[in-house]
Amino acid sequence: MSIKGTILTELRKHTGDWVSGELLSDTLNVTRSAVWKQIKILREEGYPIESLPKKGYRFLGPPDLLLPEEITAGLKTKVFGQKQNFYFKEIGSTNMEARHLAEMGYPEGTIVLAEKQTEGRGRRGRSWYSPSGEGIYVSLLLRPKIVSNEAPKIPLVTAVAVAAALKSWIENLPLQIKWPNDILVNGKKLGGILAEVSTDMEVINYVIVGIGLNVNTPGESFPPELREIATSILIATGKSCLRIRILQNILESFEKYYSFLQEGNFGRVLQKLDEFSVIKGASVRLDTAKGSITGKVLDIDDDGFLIVRDYNGTIHRVLSGDVSIIPPEENHPGTMKSLSY
Ligand code: BTN
């Protein structure tokens, strides 16, 4: 581990207590000025570390930043977050950066994080509102050992993993998944997933899974067009949270559900989806690449496809699309309220 990393580990062990500069320099076998230099760097990165003559240094606790070293500290995964974690104060889109890294040959488990995105991308060409320090914007690089026609299961795996990870953070509020991969609380959108696949015939080269989650966003900070349809953990629970802990929970949960998929046990993912799925039995409008279908959701089948019966009685098996739930009192085509963003 680097000198900086070792200093951080030592300070972290004694969070809230003073640690003398002498002890640090002895432990690391470096000069006290070398210690001071690293402390300055840590402070610049955002770590709250106090210093006092004769007392030394005091670490006040993890900052609310998605710093790479903070992610790995105490993270219970084998792969995700344990390879290289790329961190940006500001970036266009973490998915774009992750794609670039994937093309360069970076391994599965590499992640890209940003405090802010200036061109955050959503599904179907939409943008993703990504204000600085308020949300989690992360992209995971996957090199799954599954055939390409199984790739559409990945967004569902991710949605289940994210919802399972969030359960303890949002207390007893209704947390739901709107197929295939919207995370809702109180019927409003809390998070979204953008999975982008690169294939070569049957073979998947890589998949980039981008997760956007509104964590500490106050209601008034959303642009007016999102205020009615978006929410954050802060809005839903009234409490702000340490984003890094949520991110760690998401990575741990993702690794678990992703391994079910890799082991050919997608059934375990679907079982969990049942706990959260909002659309079974609902009347919906489904916008797909081939057009729109209005009807009733009958099921999500064993492969993760949505089964919809339209108003003419035709059954559709849909791989991917954008679902708008039609309120029951407006349960006929033409008068639905869109829940999408
Ligand atoms: C959606 O439309 O619901 C998907 C939103 C996905 C947003 C995330 S934020 C991190 C990653 N980088 C992006 O540009 N988009 C995804």
pLDDT for 341 beyond 70: no
The token pair that represents 93 in the structure block: 């889109």
**Distance separating alpha carbons of residues 304 and 72, to the nearest angstrom:** 32
Which tens digit of pLDDT belongs to each residue from 2-11? 899 999 999 9
pLDDT for 339 beyond 50: no
Instruction: Tell me the CA–centroid distance for residue 118 and ligand 1, in Å.
Output: 12
CB 53 within 8 A of CB 16: no
Is 122 near ligand 1, meaning CB less than 6 Å away? yes
- Which one of 87, 211, 323 would you pick to mutate in the ligand 1 pocket, going by the greatest count of ligand atoms within 8 A of its CB? 211
Name, in order, each residue with C-beta under 8 angstroms of 225's C-beta and a sequence gap of 6 or more.
none
Instruction: Tell me the CA–centroid distance for residue 172 and ligand 1, in Å.
Output: 26
Helix H or strand E encompassing 175:
strand 175-178
For the chain, percent of residues with pLDDT exceeding 90:
81
pTM, to two decimals: 0.89
Pairing of strands 135-142, 111-114: antiparallel
Q: Which atom of ligand 1 is nearest to the CA of 92?
A: 14
The token pair that represents 311 in the structure block: 């108003």
Please work out, in degrees rounded to the nearest 5, the angle formed at the alpha carbon of residue 48 by the alpha carbons of 45 and 50: 125
Strand partners, 139: 112, 210
Is 135 near ligand 1, meaning CB less than 6 Å away? no
What's the mean pLDDT when you consider all of the chain?
A: 92
Which tens digit of pLDDT belongs to each residue from 202-223? 899 999 999 999 999 999 999 9
Please work out, in degrees rounded to the nearest 5, the angle formed at the alpha carbon of residue 186 by the alpha carbons of 316 and 236: 145
The token pair that represents 182 in the structure block: 């919207």
Which tens digit of pLDDT belongs to each residue from 142-178? 999 999 989 999 999 999 999 999 999 998 899 999 9
The token pair that represents 236 in the structure block: 């839903």
Instruction: Give SS3 for 7.
Output: helix
Residues in the chain: 341
Instruction: Tell me the CA–centroid distance for residue 19 and ligand 1, in Å.
Output: 41
**More confident of the two residues 280 and 136:** 136
Which tens digit of pLDDT belongs to each residue from 281-316? 889 999 988 889 999 999 999 999 999 999 899 999
Instruction: Tell me the CA–centroid distance for residue 314 and ligand 1, in Å.
Output: 33
Q: Which atom of ligand 1 is nearest to the CA of 192?
A: 3
